[in-house]
Structure 1
Amino acid sequence: MTARLIVDLHALDTNIRRVQTRLAPAELMLVVKNDAYGHGISRVVPRALALGVSWFGAFDVATAAAVRRAAGDGPRIFVWLVPGRREIGDALTLDADVGVGDADVLEDVAAVAAARSQRARVHLKIDTGLHRNGIRPEEWADAVGRARSLQDAGLIEVVGIWSHIAEASDDEDDAARAAFDHAVEVARAAGLTPALRHLAASAAGTTRPEFRYEMTRVGAFCYGIAPAGGPSAADLGLTPIGTLTASVIAVEGNDAIIDIGVFDGLPSPLAGRTDVGTPGGTRRLVGVGEDSRVEGWPGMVVGDEVVIYGTGSRGEPTSTDLAEVLDTIGEEIAVRLSPTVPREDDDARSAPQS
């Protein structure tokens, strides 16, 4: 395989700084699910730490463990997929904060904490309408009352309240925010004093100050992945940090043969629907799979580099451009890139300047 993903660490630094500036005084939680959106937790987390990021959103326990290995002790890790007591125990071993979006999970967290004689840090999730788990509004008062009892018993500490929003329209997001604010009021009336509220992700967090609260979870924008159908990364002042390249392995007639059979479930629909960057300019990707083909250019030779997606500076699409071809989102392109594709730093020797 000649495909490789080049990770631009300078661009990562710049993106994170711009997001931090935009969010301030709210704190950035850098989301690193799916191995930092396919770019590699082991390289992304140390860079973020050097820029003052102290919160990481890990999604599941395996990701939380990878973050802890990369970050060491100290930084806070938020994990919100804990389907059983074993996973909860693993999260507590990692000194992670646990997202709780179900009354049964709350009981499981308390039981594990009691067995370990360890107080669990909990963020309670209210379902504000997206229905991506979360405690239902009609069950919220009982849940926060129970959480107060468990906190008084020394088993948990409710440090945050959080939710997801659709980011589909301002009206829907406004309704979700109103439901969220009401849930916080109910929690405070029950005697809870959560220090952190986090509701928004990349889009709402960077464009609507009222959604930022004390902390905002941002993933895609920090990696320079723009929303499909929305403003481009350049419009947002961001740079895609991942560039997927492959070398020409053969020349057949008017076609250059490259080896990029590397997406999970996505390659076939791309054939004939996108261009790539080549030494001869932009060319059409005419076949994807075991025999991936690009329309040729004058003087093409084996070893020439083809850019499948990147910043767009050489005429190649960004990951968001590819996503729009497939009616999906840019981050899906990034996370579906096979882990067997080598990731390489173009900035391996330098560190960010704080």
Structure 2
Amino acid sequence: MTARLHVDLDALEANIARVRATVSPAELMLVVKDDAYGHGLEPVVRAASGAGVVWFGAFDVRTACAVREAVGEDARIFAWIAASRGDLEAAVAARIDLGVGDADLLEEIADAARDAGSRVRVHLKIDTGLHRNGVRPEQWPGFVSRAAALHSEGVIDVVGIWSHIAEASDAEDDEARGVYEWALAEAEAVGLRRMTRHLAASAASFARPEFRYDMVRVGAFCYGIRSAGGPSADDLGLRPIGTLHADVVEVAGQYVRVDLGWLHGLPSSLRLRSSVGTPAGSRQLIDIGRSDSLVASWPGAGAGDTVAIYGPGAAGEVSATDLAELIGTIGEEIALRVSPLVERRYTRR
């Protein structure tokens, strides 16, 4: 297979600088879940660390440990899914900050910390309405009281309060923020103070300053993936870092066949909806097969010519989110569909 994803590390660093300037004085946590949104975990976190990022959001413990191995001991790494006792033991050993949105998990973390003789940093999660593994408000007072007791015991160190918001409408997000503010007050009332507060992700971190608090968790925008239905990447001051290329493998009359299909991540629902970039400019994507696809041909087309499916160099600078909007999804999904079998190539200017 000749398809490859070119990842521009200079663009990544420029996006990081743009995000940090926008959200300052709040800290940036770079979210690197799902293999850094499909761009390749190790090269991304090394570049980000070199650009001054000190907080990484890793989703699961396995990814968090891989980040620790890549960037060393100085980074702060946050994971919010620990699926087993083995995960907890690995997290304790690697000094991972753990997000806790469940009373049973809080006790399991405390047990793992006691067994290891190590104090674990935790961030308590309130469910503000998105229902993504947070503690329900009616259970929150008891939850933070228990966390404060374990903090006093010396087995955990409560260092943060966090949540997710839907980013579906300003009104819903305002209501969620009200719940979050209440949760902060309840935690302070039981003696939990000097905590890092983090609520906003990409869109809210740019559009709603009051949601930034002490830190924002940004993934998509750092990779230059704008929100569906939102401002353009140019308007946000961001650059897509990934360009998906495939080579022409056959010229067949009015079509060329390119070496990329749905098996390797190109959504079949894009057929006849999207255009791609070719040496002769924009051409329609005609059909998407299992391992290859058809594109409208151009004069002089030949095997080995390169087609850009999305990213800088694609037809009209088509982005992952542009493709996503054609089929009613989000840009992150397009990026994450690219198969791990597609080679990642890393470039700098």
Structure 2-normalised TM-score? 0.97
**Does the 8 Å CA contact 1:11/1:240 hold for their aligned counterparts?**
yes
Partner of 2:100: 100
- Which ranges in structure 1 are unaligned for 5 or more consecutive residues? none
Q: Deviations over 1:25-61 (max 9, x none)?
A: 0000000001111111111111111221100000001
Q: Deviations over 1:243-272 (max 9, x none)?
A: 000010010111110011255675211111
The count of residues paired between Structure 1 and Structure 2 equals 348
Q: Deviations over 1:302-352 (max 9, x none)?
A: 1111000003664252000111112111011111110110000122xx7xx
Residue identity (%): 59
Partner of 2:347: 346
Partner of 2:308: 307
- How far is the alpha carbon of 1:84 from its aligned partner? 2.3
Q: 1:153 to 1:164 in 2, by over 3 A?
A: same
**Does the 8 Å CA contact 2:62/2:87 hold for their aligned counterparts?**
no
**Aligned-partner Cα distance in 1 for 2:163–2:30:** 16
Report SS of the residue matched to 1:277.
strand
Q: 1:213 to 1:174 in 2, by over 3 A?
A: same
Aligned 1:1-354 pairs, distance under 5 A: 1-261=1-261, 267-289=267-289, 290-311=291-312, 314-347=315-348
**Does the 8 Å CA contact 1:282/1:316 hold for their aligned counterparts?**
no
- How far is the alpha carbon of 1:83 from its aligned partner? 2.1
- Which ranges in structure 2 are unaligned for 5 or more consecutive residues? none
Report SS of the residue matched to 1:158.
strand
**Does the 8 Å CA contact 1:22/1:206 hold for their aligned counterparts?**
yes
Q: Which amino acid aligns with 1:117?
A: G
**Aligned-partner Cα distance in 1 for 2:247–2:292:** 13
**Aligned-partner Cα distance in 2 for 1:323–1:263:** 18
- How far is the alpha carbon of 1:117 from its aligned partner? 0.8
CA RMSD of aligned residues (A): 1.3
Q: 1:197 to 1:227 in 2, by over 3 A?
A: same
Report SS of the residue matched to 2:186.
helix
- The 10-residue stretch of structure 1 (190-199 or 95-104) with the greater mean CA deviation from structure 2: 190-199
- How far is the alpha carbon of 1:10 from its aligned partner? 1.2
Q: Deviations over 1:167-194 (max 9, x none)?
A: 0111111111110011000000011114
Report SS of the residue matched to 2:257.
strand
**Aligned-partner Cα distance in 1 for 2:3–2:146:** 53
**Aligned-partner Cα distance in 2 for 1:7–1:311:** 10
- How far is the alpha carbon of 1:236 from its aligned partner? 0.7
Q: 1:266 to 1:134 in 2, by over 3 A?
A: farther
- How far is the alpha carbon of 1:148 from its aligned partner? 0.7
Q: Deviations over 1:57-90 (max 9, x none)?
A: 0000121122112101110000001122221111
**Aligned-partner Cα distance in 1 for 2:120–2:320:** 38
- The 10-residue stretch of structure 1 (121-130 or 227-236) with the greater mean CA deviation from structure 2: 227-236
**Does the 8 Å CA contact 1:84/1:108 hold for their aligned counterparts?**
no
